[in-house]
Chains A and B, each alone.
Chain A
Amino acid sequence: MSAIYLIDHYANNLSSYMHKASTLSKLISAALALGITMFTGSALALMIDFLLILMFMRTAKLPIFRMLRWTIYPAFFASLFALSQLPYSFILPIITMFKAVNAALIMLFLVSTTPYPELFSVISISSQTIGNVAFLTYRFFFIFIDQASKRFTAMKAKGGLVGGWRKRIENLANFLGLIFVISFEISENVYSAMKTRGYSGKIFCHRKKERKFSKNDLMPVAFALCFSTLMVVSLFIREGGILI
């Protein structure tokens, strides 16, 4: 099953304090965690940040190992950069790796505990256009991934990945061209369907149950306090010139 479907499933069907908490409190906690990840230069602070995020995920009943597996992609690309830093420092590559993994985990936490219309409705408060664009892009990817994986399976079934490297690359290039064309077709069809359902340039993100501030928000608020403290401490560490 594709990661994107599982994420949607976790967001909509899991039940935890984090899932029941309001979107705003989760967004604030995530923003603070992201703030530390982006601005701190301390490996120790990043490690604590990492552990806090894992605790965050644990309380949300999210499968930590699967989440970590999904961070392999950013970790892989970060490792290329980290390797180039290795001749200069041992700490810098660790910081680079933590930054990539932590940022990915925070975003995974956010989308796995909050159904996307709720996230986008909060975004829509600041900008309706950005909210709509985010909503449509997300929905489009759902359909697009489905269609692309079907076409990829068909290509494989027809021996598209059997020939020599040159032939495989040629087939993959054709496949990419095909899905590029398909993406236009899908977006046209989705737009037509939305138009017949009353879409006129504005997405309404109404939910059956509006999540308001409640006792469920204590957990993200507690984490937000932890992240704030960590941020202040990490700034202090940085001021002291200590990296670890």
Chain B
Amino acid sequence: MSEIVKVNCISHRYPDATEVSICGLSFVIHEGERVAILGANGSGKTTMLLHIVGILQPTEGEVTVFGDSPTKSPLHDKVAMVFQNVDEQIIGPTVWDDIAFSPLNYGHKPGEVKNMVDEIIKEIGIQHLASRVPHYLSGGEKKKVAIAGAVVTHPKLLILDEALTGLDPKSKVEIIKLLNRFNKEHNIAIAITTHEVDLVPRIADTVYVISNGAIIFRGTPVELFQQPEVLRKANLEPPPLIELLKALKDEGLQVEVSDDPAKAKKQILTLCKAKNR
């Protein structure tokens, strides 16, 4: 898999003199990869994403997206982003108009735009929302519309800033399924920032943990859960299931730390049966 994004020790100075640095391990996204970026509020997750899409320019360090600097060479429709506050992203008066915004800006012909929009609306299953005014939609529906507006141009990389925050559990599951489907069927690489640790295994192949301006961990979700101290260092809490299994392991019991509830149940039942015998 080829590298599509590489971030090397960047720092950015905001107009109010706030300086955000992200150093430590280098950040890489490969083609078709699902990446989660974990970190507490204010750790610099959003700043890094804004550098990747070329909205911010690093005062120091280097960002490469598809082999070029995103601020010097426009990414066009190769990278799409879903912002934390989707209300500020939805521009169209109706859902259909909003989804058509990007293809029209990228110069697709009206007939082509119609096909692209109708196709994505069908794929995401929001046909019933097509003529609705976005303001009246629920949080989950707005997220779906924002995702539709981002993926309509078939980007190679989809960036989502806190896309799961503030959603009810059902909507979260729907959005996760949707993202995984896009990743699998269209080979879209996904980078998502979150502080919901328990959702990471369902949305990512690779996890990065940011703490105090440094990338302190890179690995798979399973590898991360075997080191809960990494999460604590980043002011995050490991999932209770992981905590339990880790505690059992520390007691010297033969258990494997896993985020899979079914697997955990099986392991605990085996332990109980062994004790009863």
Chain A interfacial positions (CB closer than 8 Å to B) = 5, 8-9, 11-13, 115-117, 139, 142-143, 146, 186, 189-190, 192-200, 202, 204, 206-208
CA separation between A190 and B55, bound complex, in Å? 12
For the complex of A and B, the 5 pairs showing the least CB-CB separation, nearest first, are A198-B105, A204-B104, A193-B89, A189-B88, A197-B102
The answer to whether B133 and A12 have CB atoms under 8 Å apart is: yes
For A189, list chain B residues within 8 Å (CB). 83, 85, 88
CA separation between A8 and B94, bound complex, in Å? 9
The answer to whether A142 and B55 have CB atoms under 8 Å apart is: no
Task: Return B100 CB to nearest CB of chain A, in Å.
Answer: 6
- Name B62-90 residues within 8 Å CB distance of A: 76-77, 79-81, 83, 85, 87-89
Contact digits for B140-162, partner A, Cβ 8 Å, 1 yes 0 no: 00000000011001000000000
What would 18 A/B residue contacts be, using CB atoms closer than 8 Å?
A13-B131, A13-B132, A13-B133, A115-B94, A117-B93, A117-B97, A146-B87, A146-B135, A189-B83, A189-B88, A190-B91, A195-B55, A197-B80, A197-B91, A198-B101, A204-B105, A208-B97, A208-B114
Task: Return A35 CB to nearest CB of chain B, in Å.
Answer: 28
New A-B pairs, 8, CB < 8 Å, besides A192-B55, A194-B91: A8-B93, A11-B93, A146-B135, A192-B83, A198-B101, A198-B153, A206-B100, A207-B97
Chain B interfacial positions (CB closer than 8 Å to A) = 50, 53, 55, 76-77, 79-81, 83, 85, 87-89, 91-94, 96-97, 100-102, 104-106, 110, 113-114, 117, 130-133, 135-136, 149-150, 153
For A115, list chain B residues within 8 Å (CB). 93-94, 97
Known: A8-B133, A207-B97, A208-B114. A196 touches B81 (CB 8 A): yes
Known: A143-B88, A198-B106, A200-B105. A192 touches B133 (CB 8 A): no
CA separation between A244 and B92, bound complex, in Å? 46
Task: Return B192 CB to nearest CB of chain A, in Å.
Answer: 15
Known: A5-B136, A142-B135. A196 touches B93 (CB 8 A): no
Q: Which of B55, B104, B113, B131 contacts A196 (CB 8 A)?
A: B55
Known: A115-B94, A117-B97, A207-B97. A197 touches B131 (CB 8 A): no
CA separation between A12 and B136, bound complex, in Å? 12
Task: Return A29 CB to nearest CB of chain B, in Å.
Answer: 22
The answer to whether A12 and B135 have CB atoms under 8 Å apart is: no
Q: Which of A117, A190, A195, A200 contacts B88 (CB 8 A)?
A: A190
For A204, list chain B residues within 8 Å (CB). 101, 104-105
Known: A5-B135, A143-B88. A198 touches B76 (CB 8 A): yes
CA separation between A200 and B105, bound complex, in Å? 8
CA separation between A8 and B106, bound complex, in Å? 27
Task: Return B143 CB to nearest CB of chain A, in Å.
Answer: 14
For B50, list chain A residues within 8 Å (CB). 192
Q: Name, among A9, A117, A143, A197, the residue most crowded by chain B CB atoms within 10 Å (CB to CB).
A: A197
Q: Of all chain A residues, which has the CB nearest B104?
A: A204
CA separation between A200 and B106, bound complex, in Å? 9
Q: Which of B83, B94, B96, B153 contacts A193 (CB 8 A)?
A: B83
CA separation between A194 and B136, bound complex, in Å? 21
Known: A116-B93, A207-B97. A199 touches B105 (CB 8 A): yes
For B77, list chain A residues within 8 Å (CB). 198
For B131, list chain A residues within 8 Å (CB). 12-13
For A197, list chain B residues within 8 Å (CB). 80, 89, 91, 101-102, 105, 149-150
Known: A146-B87, A195-B55, A206-B113. A117 touches B96 (CB 8 A): no
For B80, list chain A residues within 8 Å (CB). 196-197
Known: A8-B133, A196-B81, A197-B101. A117 touches B92 (CB 8 A): yes
Q: Which of B55, B105, B133 contacts A9 (CB 8 A)?
A: B133
CA separation between A115 and B110, bound complex, in Å? 18
Task: Return B63 CB to nearest CB of chain A, in Å.
Answer: 15
